[in-house]
Chains A and B, each alone.
Chain A
Amino acid sequence: GAGVSQSPSNKVTEKGKDVELRCDPISGHTALYWYRQRLGQGLEFLIYFQGNSAPDKSGLPSDRFSAERTGESVSTLTIQRTQQEDSAVYLCASSSTSGSRETQYFGPGTRLLVL
């Protein structure tokens, strides 16, 4: 079956603009995660959704970052008033449940460049 897909694959924006990044998880996966990968800094957790529970937003770096998920379907990560330090690869992952043993399946990422 299809894996996790993300769009766009690349996004160039100007400082101060808003951007929306989209993630389509694997069908039937109830858990969805967003991570950020900045150059030389590894992957940082941003937010995760599990079914209809309230999302865990503890990794969001500022209130300019927000995310939504429609049921157990697509998710959108929005960054408002982008800053140059937001430049990174944004990775989405999904798993069949949020259990800690579960394998997370990653999408190819969206490469964001803020000029």
Chain B
Amino acid sequence: AQSVTQLGSHVSVSEGALVLLRCNYSSSVPPYLFWYVQYPNQGLQLLLKYTSAATLVKGINGFEAEFKKSETSFHLTKPSAHMSDAAEYFCAVTRWGYGGSQGNLIFGKGTKLSVKP
């Protein structure tokens, strides 16, 4: 079975500071991993995804994440936070089962990012 753990339900950074949101996964098969962002009262929007190509994945809005198999991690980073980055961020892994991909995503509990001026 696959699972995702996001460390820290709430992270606060100052504008211009480094953003680091942590995600660790558990999977018995090579995982496909995703980061989604949810702005208040909106649906989820894909930031980036890892699908077994390059381990460093670049996404929208200056975010990137690095797949580290040895650490079972897929942490999300951004060098310099903007006020507009304040949102909730979800890490997810594709569910696999007998016969291959089951299609749906398994999500972490989310991390709320606050950005202080």
Contacts and interface: CB of A to CB of B under 8 A. Distances in A.
Nearest to A97: B103
A33 B43 contact: no
B90 to A, nearest CB: 7
For chain B, what secondary structure do more than half of its interface residues adopt (helix, strand, loop), or is it mixed?
Answer: strand
Contacts of B94: 100-101
Contact of A91 (B44, B92, B101): B44
A58 B105 CA distance: 13
B46 A91 contact: no
B103 A108 contact: no
A106 B43 contact: yes
Contacts of A58: 102
Contacts of A48: 103-104
Interface string B49-79: 1010000000000000000000000000000
A51 B45 CA distance: 23
Interface string B82-117: 000000001010111000111111111110000000
Interface of A: 4, 31, 33, 35, 40-45, 48, 50, 56, 58-59, 91, 93, 98-101, 103-109
